[in-house]
């Protein structure tokens, strides 16, 4: 580990420099004495040399540690035998095999970084991924050092009656001093990033799960006592995930107990520590009065994600942090599969792609662009990115599509069997899929090493005399500074061709004996390729990239009429939605141009008629209809602008919403009224779909700003029995200049001011409002009791929501939004560098805006970089943004 310099130039870590550790740690015994002012940690490590390195020294990682003593094979070491710096402890002379005992003192109550051991709401908890364990004790804190852990926790019995760690409880007892202890042992070797400890006064909810082999698994969830009634959905989701993983992947849980602890202060969503998952409370707690349908869906997905990590991340883990997508991309794909099986698979796929294109594509086009297996980093926390997670999942999905369900299962079975208990690489994962299916993915591996979003430009020719239809495909990938030239990718392109009635035509390529009806997958491998389909009786409408079969940008040049046809007729639900999105993008870009040129904005009647047909149609999946009615976001629209114009994007989208609401007022009103629900609340896919469609109708109607609809909106707010409908109404009211807005916001606050998670929604709704005075409101809210700078959820709910979710107000030409963000990045950085860096990434695309905005954003970046002693996290983001 290189020493981090106190200057502005921290070292860069490179994949090409990876070396296996000189030593491995076979076992570690940890003893924690938890105190109200400080905590003492005693570790006993059994080390053995596993290399022929010439140096007799050993370098251990450690940060913010007070070293009390060191013993080597029972002998106390004097200071001449070791030295320390801010990030390491170096032992100068060590044998090939030895025992090392280290005693350190740490201060969890003062740890605002929320990395290592810290306190949240008076409870002790840990977060060790990626490099938090080094803030607990000196250690080889890297994922390829896997040890068996035994952990003893000692604490005040009254204050901390619950003492938890990884594995199985093997001993517990009381001491005369009013303290007690618990001893845990994890039988499976694991890297230090999976270590967990919790000491708390929490309520325990118990259940059990019977595995396919008949083993009984205890399921425990720990939450604050007043939240016990909000765990049913999380527990049910966990049991569904356990059953699904057995059925779909053949993975059975391996310990006798599985525990989840919910904490209020957490940098991430959740953490898959072996046997003891620690969760951000927002991804555990849910009841209809306080959680929306989206909360319910997110809880189910995150609970499943962390459980699935037990095999794809824990039993088989990463060799180094460059391989992060090995566990995260694969596990995100698995949780997406699970979620699709629980509800509407079409809607789940749409939601995933919408998020990917709105945000990950922006990441690919910005200064932090990197492959899903990066080549270098300064601070690993900055690489927990959408590229690693979401694009990583898309790469696994392509492998799944190329191999098919059976082939992919054969490959993953071999992967888990071959590498159980090992720390491996993305190449090892792909190799297992290849070996199990006797195939070659050499070219496909470029997805792991090349950055950027590939682009497909497709031309089409129909020859009525020869009855042939030709697709000419050209693939490119924009250059990046580190990779100016990109080799062609191996891309699965799923396609269909529709006849005049909307039926899929049989598809037979030249030279093939038989046609395939329905979707077929073309495997692109060259920079330019031509596909000629035979026996096509009429000019078809192409349905390309079905199911979003690859994370690419598709340029096809369909007419408005063809998009309307696909929107109504395509059998592929994703492509039906996509046709509507691309048609809306064309219309919105035209409106943007008209606005910029001072021309009057005019509604497209053909688009209006198509939307009316969809709204009044007989589609049974109401959640899918709601997705079709949702216009492309301002973020996604910006992807199509050479120079991003936030104001024009907002006004064009708002005009189209309002125009549709005016033209289809009666239809929206009738649909809204027909979808009124009855108590009690249900979280079934059908009921979720009903609420989604009803509330999108309300959103359209509220753009008309009439007193009748405001009254109806306030009525929904007052009379609804569930948070989904309450938030939908309050969100629409928050955008208005009305007495109803003030009444609703105050009533919501009065009712929920003691519920921290619900208050996050209250903060976000106001931060996302498109009102002119939103920044003024946000600034006032930073002083409100509901906001707390040291709580990541609060920061994301208010500052993150405004700066990253409200482009028209954040990008006000005055630059006040930019200066506001700068100030809070600098306030946060000393407290929590991870959260500060994520906020700093908001400036990444500053070069895409007009000159005035560029100048002001650049000034803020330079101000941050020139500030004294910024963290490595913020330094890396801001310097890369500046180039």
- Distance from C-alpha of 496 to C-alpha of 565, rounded to nearest angstrom: 14
- 617 CB-near residues (< 8 Å, 6+ apart): 625
Query: What does the pLDDT look like over 513-533, one tens digit per residue?
Result: 999 999 999 999 999 999 999
> Could you tell me which of 287, 254, 259, 292 has the C-alpha nearest to residue 273?
259
Question: In degrees rounded to 5, what are phi and psi of residue 105?
Answer: -120, 135
Look at residue 5 in the predicted model and tell me its pLDDT.
35
Domains and CATH numbers, the chain: 13-284 (2.60.40.1730), 319-449 (1.10.390.10), 455-550 (2.60.40.1840)
How many CA within 13 A on the CB side of residue 160?
A: 26
**Mean pLDDT computed over 618-623:** 93
pLDDT for residue 300 is more than 60: yes
Contact predicate 532/470, CB 8 Å:
yes
In this predicted structure, what is the pLDDT of residue 139?
98
Q: Within 10 A of 569 (CB to CB), how many other CB atoms are there?
A: 17
Taking residues 807-813, report their average pLDDT. Answer: 98
Contact predicate 844/370, CB 8 Å: no
Residue 551 has pLDDT above 70, yes or no: yes
Neighbours of 499 (CB within 10 A): 15
Radius of gyration of the chain (CA): 28
Tell me whether residue 306 is one of the annotated catalytic residues: yes
Mean predicted lDDT score pLDDT of the chain: 96
Q: State the average pLDDT over residues 410-435.
A: 98
What's the pLDDT tens digit per position in 67-78? 999 999 999 999
Q: What is the SS3 assignment for 843-882?
A: HCCHHHECHHHHHHHHHHHHHHHCCCCCCHHHHHHHHHHH
Percent of the chain with pLDDT over 90: 96
**pLDDT tens column, 156-196:** 999 999 999 999 999 999 988 999 999 999 999 999 999 99
Q: Would you call 567 exposed, middle or buried from its count of C-beta atoms within 10 A (0-12, 13-18, 19+)?
A: buried
pLDDT number for residue 3: 34
pLDDT band for 6, please (50, 70, 90 cuts): very low
Q: Is the pTM of this model over 0.85?
A: yes
Given 272, 306, 390, 434, the catalytic residue: 306
């Amino acid at each position: 580990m290189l020493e981090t310099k106190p200057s502005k130039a921290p070292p860069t870590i490179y994949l090409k420099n990876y070396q296996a550790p000189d030593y491995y740690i076979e076992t570690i015994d940890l003893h924690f004495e938890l105190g109200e002012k400080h905590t003492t940690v005693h570790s006993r490590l059994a080390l053995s040399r596993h290399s022929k390195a010439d140096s007799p020294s050993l370098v251990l990682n450690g940060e913010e540690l007070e070293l009390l003593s060191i013993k080597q094979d029972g002998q106390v070491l004097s200071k001449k035998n070791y030295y320390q710096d801010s990030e390491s402890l170096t032992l100068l002379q060590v044998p090939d095999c030895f025992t090392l005992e280290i005693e350190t003192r740490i201060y969890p109550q003062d740890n605002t970084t929320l990395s290592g051991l810290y306190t949240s709401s008076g409870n002790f908890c840990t977060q060790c991924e990626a490099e938090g364990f080094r803030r607990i004790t000196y250690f080889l804190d890297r994922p390829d050092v896997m040890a068996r852990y035994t952990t003893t926790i000692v604490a005040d019995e009254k204050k901390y009656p619950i003492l938890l760690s990884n594995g199985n409880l093997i001993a517990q007892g009381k001491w005369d001093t009013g303290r007690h202890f618990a001893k845990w042992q994890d039988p499976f070797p694991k890297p230090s990033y999976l270590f967990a400890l919790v000491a708390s006064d929490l309520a325990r909810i118990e259940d059990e799960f019977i595995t396919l082999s008949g083993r009984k698994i205890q399921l425990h969830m720990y939450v604050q006592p007043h939240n016990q009634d909000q765990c049913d959905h999380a527990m049910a989701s966990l049991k569904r995930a356990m059953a699904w993983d057995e059925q779909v992947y053949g993975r059975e849980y391996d310990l006798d107990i599985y525990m989840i602890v919910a904490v209020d202060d957490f940098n991430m969503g959740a953490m898959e520590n072996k046997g003891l998952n620690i969760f951000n409370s927002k991804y555990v707690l849910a009841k209809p009065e306080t959680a929306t349908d989206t909360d319910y869906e997110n809880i189910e997905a995150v609970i499943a994600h962390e459980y699935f990590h037990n095999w794809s991340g824990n039993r088989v883990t990463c060799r180094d942090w460059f391989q992060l997508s090995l566990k995260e991309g694969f596990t995100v794909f698995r949780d997406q599969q699970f979620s699709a099986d629980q509800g509407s698979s079409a809607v789940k796929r749409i939601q995933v792609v919408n998020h990917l294109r709105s945000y990950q594509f922006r990441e690919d086009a910005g200064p932090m662009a990197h492959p899903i297996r990066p080549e270098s980093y300064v601070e690993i926390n900055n690489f927990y990115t959408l590229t690693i997670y979401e694009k990583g999942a898309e790469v696994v999905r392509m492998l799944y599509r190329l191999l098919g369900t059976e082939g992919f299962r054969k490959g993953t079975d071999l992967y888990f069997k071959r590498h159980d208990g090992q720390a491996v690489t993305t190449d090892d994962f792909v190799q297992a899929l290849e070996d199990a299916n006797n195939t070659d993915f050499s070219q496909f591996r470029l997805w792991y090493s090349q950055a950027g979003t590939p682009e497909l430009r497709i031309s089409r020719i129909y020859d009525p005399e020869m009855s042939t239809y030709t697709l000419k495909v050209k693939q490119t990938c924009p250059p990046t500074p580190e990779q100016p030239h990109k080799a062609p990718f191996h891309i699965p392109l799923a396609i269909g061709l529709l006849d005049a009635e909307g039926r899929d035509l049989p598809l037979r390529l030249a030279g093939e004996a038989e046609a395939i009806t329905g979707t077929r997958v073309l495997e692109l491998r060259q920079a330019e390729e031509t596909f000629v389909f035979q026996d096509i009786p009429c000019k078809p409408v192409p349905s390309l990239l079905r199911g979003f079969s690859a994370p690419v940008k598709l340029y096809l040049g369909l007419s408005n009429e063809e998009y309307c046809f696909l929107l109504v007729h395509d059998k592929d639900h994703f492509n039906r939605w996509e046709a509507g999105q691309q048609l809306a993008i064309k219309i919105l870009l035209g409106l943007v141009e008209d606005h910029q040129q001072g021309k009057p904005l005019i509604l497209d009647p053909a688009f209006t008629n198509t939307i009316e047909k969809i709204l009044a149609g007989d589609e049974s999946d109401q959640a899918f209809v709601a997705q079709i009615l949702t216009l492309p976001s301002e973020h996604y629209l910006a992807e199509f602008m050479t120079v991003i114009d936030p104001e024009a994007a907002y006004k064009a989208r708002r005009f189209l919403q309002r125009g549709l609401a005016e033209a289809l007022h009666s239809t929206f009103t009738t649909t809204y009224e027909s979808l009124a629900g009855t108590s009690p609340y249900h979280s079934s896919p059908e009921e979720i779909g009903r609420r989604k469609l009803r509330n999108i109708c309300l959103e359209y109607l509220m753009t008309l700003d009439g007193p009748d609809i405001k009254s109806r909106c306030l009525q929904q707010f007052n009379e609804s029995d569930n948070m989904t409908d309450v938030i939908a109404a309050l969100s629409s009211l928050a955008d208005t200049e009305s007495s109803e807005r003030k009444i609703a916001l105050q009533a919501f606050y009065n009712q929920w001011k003691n519920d921290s998670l619900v208050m996050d929604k209250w903060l976000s709704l106001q931060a996302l409002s498109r009102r002119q005075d939103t920044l003024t409101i946000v600034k006032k809210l930073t002083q409100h009791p509901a906001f707390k700078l040291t709580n990541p959820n609060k920061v994301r709910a208010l500052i993150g929501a405004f700066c990253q979710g409200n482009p028209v107000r954040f990008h006000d030409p005055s630059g006040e939004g930019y200066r506001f963000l700068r100030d809070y990045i600098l306030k946060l950085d000393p407290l929590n560098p991870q959260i500060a860096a994520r906020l700093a990434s908001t400036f990444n695309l500053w070069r895409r805006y007009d000159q005035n905005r560029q100048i002001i954003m650049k000034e803020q970046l330079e101000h941050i970089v020139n500030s004294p002693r910024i963290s490595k996290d913020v330094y890396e983001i801001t310097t890369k943004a500046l180039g």
